[in-house]
Structure formats: C-alpha cells, structure tokens
Amino acid sequence: MYKVFATGINKYPNAPLAGCVNDVLDASEFISKNYQVNEDNIRLLVDERATKQAIIERLNWLVDGVKAGDRLFWHFSGHGSQVAARSGSGEVDGLSEIICPVDMAWDPDHYITDFELWEILKNIPEGVKFNWCNDSCHSGGLTTKDRNFHNPPIQIPRFMKPPEDILWRIKVAYKKNLITTRDSQKLNVGFVSGCRSDQTSADTVINGRPCGAMSYYFFKNLEKMKDKPFKDVVAGAAIDLKANYYSQEPQAEGSLIDIPFWGESVAAAPAVPAAPAVPVKKPCKRRWYFPWTWRCKG
C-alpha cells in the first residue's frame, strides 16, 4: 500500500507565504504520475484547513494500518521555528523544533513539536519505507546574527520568528546546551530538510510561479535521478540552489538515503574478476555505525 500526505500553508494570518500550496500540488502530482500511487491514497491539506488538529489527524491516517513493504510520503511546506519550555519550578529545561500550522500561536495547543511528531511516527512498523520532505526553516540559532537574510530578490524566509519572551527562553536553553535529540529506533526513513539548522528556506518565484526553492529543485533532480540514491538527489538540489544564488543547503538524513527515493535498492556494480591472491597482513576489524537522530542537524 502506498499513502501520501501533503501539507502546504500560504495563508498564515501574520506571516503569509506564496509557494507552499504549489509545492504540495507539485509533489502529489509527481508521486502519482511517477510511482503509480492511487489518488484515493493521497491526502492534501492546505491553508485554512491545515490546523494543528487536522494535521495530527492526517498524520495518524498516514501511519494507520500500514505494514512491512508499504510506502509512506509526507511533504510539508510552511513555516518552522523553535520553542523552549520551562519546568514546574520555572527553569528552562527543554528545547523543541516545531512546524507551524495555520492556527499557529505561541502556546502548545497551536504548534506541533518534534516530540509530538515522534510520538506518531514511532508507530510506523519495521519494514515500512517512509520518506519526508520538510521545506521549512527549523531550529538553529534564532538571533539575527546567526541567520543569513542576505538572499537574492523575491525571497521570504519560511521561518516564524518567536516573540521576545520566547526568544529569551531559547537563548537560555542554548546556554544550557539543551539540544534535544530522539532515537529513530531504526525507522526506515529518508528525510530531506529545506536547509541547514542555521539557515532559512526560501519561499520564492521560479519561472514566474511561486514555490519553495528546495521543493522545486528537489523534484527537478528527482525527475532526472529516479534510479539514483536519495542522497544524490538532495546533493543535486543543493548544487542547483547554489548555482541560482540561494544560500540554503538542503540536508539528507535517515536509513533510506542510500537507495532510490521510491526504489528498493541501488543497482549493484558489475562483478569484477578477483585478482590472484597474494599474502597480505590481516586487517584489523572495524565496526561502522550509522546513527540517525530525529532532528535534522546542520
């Protein structure tokens, strides 16, 4: 079974964007056309309908009833940000990345934290392949000096700036080194973020049409590299972004980045005849680890 959920929000009341709905339309049409996903299994949620409650409900639909061998895809285009929490005694004791629904407000009932996402996505059974494209700004330093706003014309950062009291909490959290990470528990995931953690993702116009810069170049490269590893597609998008004067650098993470976006595996290289055996010194044993944490770290 293939299931797709695409979320795009332009109509933020106080920080509107222009290209997010086009992103999710393009993503959904690309997946439907190229990977034969039944349109009944593609759910879109845009603008006024993309509240926190509705996004959570659709994410639960996405993971409900799936089993090994199934494929899931979630595309989010919109604002992202970061919040810090206080303990019962009033001390700052945590830091979370968030995505911003259309009813975004600076209280827990109106944003979606990385912990809430994790609580849903951790229920994906082993063997299910899950790809996630997040074209928003998420985390990193939130002060002006840490972010590059010197972008080419016709760009709006997909970053929701917190109010000053929450920025103060975040500053304290960074001083305390409260950088939270979550174990993936070996989720089969391929994840691409719009930018590094200290950058912003651009809401822009390309060929006269509003879009997210990362989304545009990601799917442009995927069209050419369907049989290439996921990480190569992201690398190609990064090259195109730089060539077109965008400062953001998309990041690929997860256990699926070494295989094609929707494929089983990368084709094996032709076998090479073995060279004649010669005595060699026995090499020492090496163990390779491929850790992956819930947040994309720049």
List, by residue number, the catalytic residues. 79, 137
DSSP for residue 144: G
**CA–CA dist 24, 127 (Å, integer):** 26
Q: Is 47 exposed, middle or buried (0-12, 13-18, 19+ CB in 10 A)?
A: middle
Q: Is the dihedral of CA 58, 262, 119, 170 positive or negative?
A: negative
User: Is 54 strand, coil or helix?
Assistant: helix
Cβ neighbours of residue 135 closer than 8 Å, sequence gap 6 or more: 20, 23, 75, 76, 77, 158, 194, 201, 212, 214, 215
- Largest distance between two CA atoms of the chain: 72
For 210, the token pair is 């509003």
User: Is 87 strand, coil or helix?
Assistant: coil
Of 48, 44, 45, 42, nearest to 16 by C-alpha is 48
